[in-house]
C-alpha cells in the first residue's frame, strides 16, 4: 500500500481535525511518560518516605504544567491563542526548584549520584520540548540552554561526578535538542497541513470564480455583438417597412439569420460550460450546501491523479447528488463527500446525508440518477444508492480506469 493510500485511509472527511488531534495526542504523551518515570524513580530509590513523596509531588506537578504548556504552546504556534508566557515562567521555575531539591538531597546524602543523575536527565529532557515550542526559536534555545547549564553546574557543585555526571551531560546533549526539535516539528507539521488545506480550498474557490468569469465573458462576446447587430438591423427594417420599401424583408431575414447563429453559439458556450470539472463541482457543492444550512465535509485526496474522463464523470455525480440533497433531503443537517482510490485503478465516490428520513418515497430513482448510471456504464462504472438506519442516504459511484502504459 502506497503512502497516498495510507493518507487517504486515515484522512476521511475530517482529516484535518484528525491530524490536529493526533498532534495534540503526541505532545500529550510526554507528560504521561514523565509521570511514569517519576513513579519508577520513587519506587526504586532508597530515600526516605518524605523524600520520595516530595519528589513525586513536584514531579507530577511538573508533568501537569508540561501538559498545559504543550497544549497552549501548540495553540499559539498555530495562531489560535496567545503566547503562554506565564506558563513558561512557571515551568522554568518549577524545573529549577526540582533540580535544586535534587542537588540539596545529594549534598545531604539522602540520595546517591545515580538517583540524581536519572532525575536531572528526565527533568531537562521533558523541559526542553514545550519551552522551545512556546517561545521564538532563539529565545527558547537561550532559555533552555541557560536552565540546562545552571542545573548541571548546580549538580557539579553538589558533588555529582564520575560516570553519573558523564551520563547526564551526554544524555542532555542528545535528548534536550532532540525533544525541542521534535516539538517544533510537530507544530510545523500541523501548521503546514492547515496551510495546504486552506490553499486547496482557495484553489477550488478560484476555479469556480474563473469558470464563472469565463462563462460571463463568452456570453458577452457572443450576445453583445450579435444583439447590437440585431438592434440596428431591425431598426432599419422597421423604418423601411414604414416607407413600404421591399428591402425591409431582406433585413428581417438577416435578423433571423443572426438570431439562429446566436442560438448555435450560445449552445456551444453552454456545452463547454457544462463540462463537469471535478474540483469546481466539489467547491460548488460545498458552497451551495453550506448556504442551505447543511454542514458539508469533503475529502478528495486522489482527485488530481484521476484521468480526465473519470474526473468529469465524478463531477457529474457530485452535481446531481448535490441537487438531489437540496431537492429531497429537506431535513438534512450534514453531508459528507469522500473520494478515494479502490484498488490500483479504480475511483470510489461516496456521498452521504442524514435527510433520508424526510425524503419522499421513491427518492433516488429519478431520471437524473438514471442518466448518471448510463454515463458511468459507458466507462465501466456503477452507481448505487441505499438507505441506512438513522435516516442516512448513501450514494456510491465506482469507476475503474485503465493505467496509462
- pLDDT of 400 above 80: yes
Each residue of 306-358: pLDDT tens digit? 888 888 888 888 888 888 888 777 678 889 999 888 777 888 999 998 887 65
- pLDDT of 135 above 80: yes
Task: Please give the share of the chain, as a percent, with pLDDT higher than 90.
Answer: 22
Between 242 and 292, residue with greater pLDDT: 242
Q: Which of 72-86, 92-106, 289-303, 371-385 has the least mean pLDDT?
A: 289-303
Between 15 and 390, residue with greater pLDDT: 390
Q: What's the pLDDT band for 391 if we cut at 50, 70, 90?
A: confident
Cα 139 versus chain centre, distance: 30
Q: What's the pLDDT band for 27 if we cut at 50, 70, 90?
A: confident
* Residue 3, pLDDT score: 44
Each residue of 43-66: pLDDT tens digit? 888 888 888 888 889 989 999 999
* Residue 74, pLDDT score: 86
* Residue 405, pLDDT score: 41
The residue-averaged pLDDT of 284-290 equals 80
* Residue 403, pLDDT score: 57
8 Å CB contact between 91 and 127: yes
* Residue 10, pLDDT score: 46
- pLDDT of 153 above 90: yes
Task: Please give the share of the chain, as a percent, with pLDDT higher than 70.
Answer: 83
* Residue 1, pLDDT score: 45
- pLDDT of 8 above 50: no
Each residue of 208-257: pLDDT tens digit? 677 677 667 767 766 676 777 777 778 888 888 888 888 888 878 887 88
Between 398 and 15, residue with greater pLDDT: 398
* Residue 239, pLDDT score: 85
Each residue of 250-283: pLDDT tens digit? 878 887 887 887 777 776 666 555 556 788 788 8
* Residue 130, pLDDT score: 92
* Residue 13, pLDDT score: 45
Between 278 and 67, residue with greater pLDDT: 67
* Residue 292, pLDDT score: 75
Between 144 and 45, residue with greater pLDDT: 144
C-alpha cell at 27: 505532545
The residue-averaged pLDDT of 361-372 equals 62
Q: Which of 1-5, 11-15, 69-73, 234-238 has the least mean pLDDT?
A: 1-5
Residue of 16, 121, 30 lying closest to 69 (CA atoms): 30
* Residue 209, pLDDT score: 74
Amino acid at each position: 500500500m502506497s503512502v497516498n493510500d495510507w493518507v487517504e485511509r486515515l484522512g476521511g472527511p475530517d482529516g484535518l481535525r484528525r491530524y490536529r488531534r493526533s498532534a495534540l495526542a503526541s505532545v500529550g504523551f510526554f507528560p504521561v511518560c514523565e509521570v511514569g518515570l517519576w513513579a519508577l524513580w520513587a519506587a526504586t530509590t532508597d530515600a526516605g518516605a518524605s523524600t520520595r513523596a516530595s519528589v513525586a509531588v513536584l514531579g507530577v506537578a511538573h508533568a501537569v504544567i508540561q501538559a498545559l504548556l504543550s497544549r497552549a504552546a501548540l495553540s499559539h504556534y498555530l495562531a489560535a491563542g496567545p503566547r503562554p508566557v506565564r506558563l513558561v515562567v512557571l515551568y522554568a521555575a518549577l524545573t529549577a526548584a526540582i533540580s535544586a531539591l535534587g542537588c540539596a538531597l545529594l549534598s545531604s546524602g539522602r540520595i546517591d549520584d545515580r538517583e540524581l543523575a536519572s532525575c536531572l536527565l528526565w527533568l531537562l529532557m521533558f523541559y526542553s520540548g514545550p519551552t522551545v515550542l512556546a517561545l521564538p526559536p532563539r529565545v527558547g534555545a537561550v532559555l533552555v540552554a541557560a536552565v540546562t547549564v545552571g542545573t548541571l553546574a548546580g549538580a557539579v557543585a553538589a558533588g555529582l561526578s564520575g560516570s553519573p555526571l558523564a551520563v547526564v551531560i551526554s544524555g542532555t546533549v542528545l535528548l534536550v535538542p532532540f525533544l525541542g526539535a521534535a516539538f517544533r516539528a510537530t507544530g510545523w507539521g500541523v501548521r503546514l497541513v492547515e496551510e495546504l488545506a486552506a490553499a486547496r480550498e482557495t484553489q477550488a474557490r478560484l476555479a469556480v470564480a474563473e469558470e464563472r468569469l469565463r462563462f460571463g465573458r463568452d456570453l458577452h462576446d457572443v450576445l453583445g455583438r450579435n444583439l447590437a447587430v440585431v438592434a440596428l438591423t431591425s431598426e432599419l427594417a422597421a423604418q423601411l417597412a414604414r416607407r413600404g420599401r421591399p428591402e425591409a424583408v431582406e433585413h428581417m431575414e438577416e435578423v433571423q439569420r443572426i438570431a439562429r447563429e446566436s442560438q448555435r453559439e450560445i449552445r456551444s458556450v453552454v456545452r463547454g460550460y457544462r463540462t463537469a470539472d471535478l474540483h469546481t463541482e466539489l467547491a460548488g457543492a460545498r458552497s451551495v450546501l453550506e448556504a442551505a444550512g447543511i454542514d458539508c465535509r469533503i475529502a478528495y485526496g486522489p482527485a488530481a491523479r484521476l484521468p480526465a474522463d473519470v474526473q468529469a464523470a465524478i463531477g457529474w455525480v457530485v452535481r446531481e447528488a448535490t441537487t438531489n440533497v437540496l431537492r429531497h433531503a429537506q431535513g438534512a443537517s450534514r453531508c459528507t463527500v469522500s473520494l478515494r482510490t479502490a484498488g490500483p485503478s479504480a475511483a470510489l465516490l461516496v456521498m452521504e446525508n442524514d435527510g433520508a428520513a424526510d425524503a419522499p418515497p421513491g427518492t433516488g430513482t429519478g431520471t437524473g440518477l438514471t442518466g448518471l448510471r448510463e454515463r458511468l456504464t459507458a466507462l465501466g462504472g456503477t452507481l448505487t444508492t441505499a438507505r441506512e438506519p438513522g435516516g442516512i442516504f448513501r450514494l456510491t459511484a465506482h469507476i475503474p480506469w485503465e493505467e496509462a502504459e
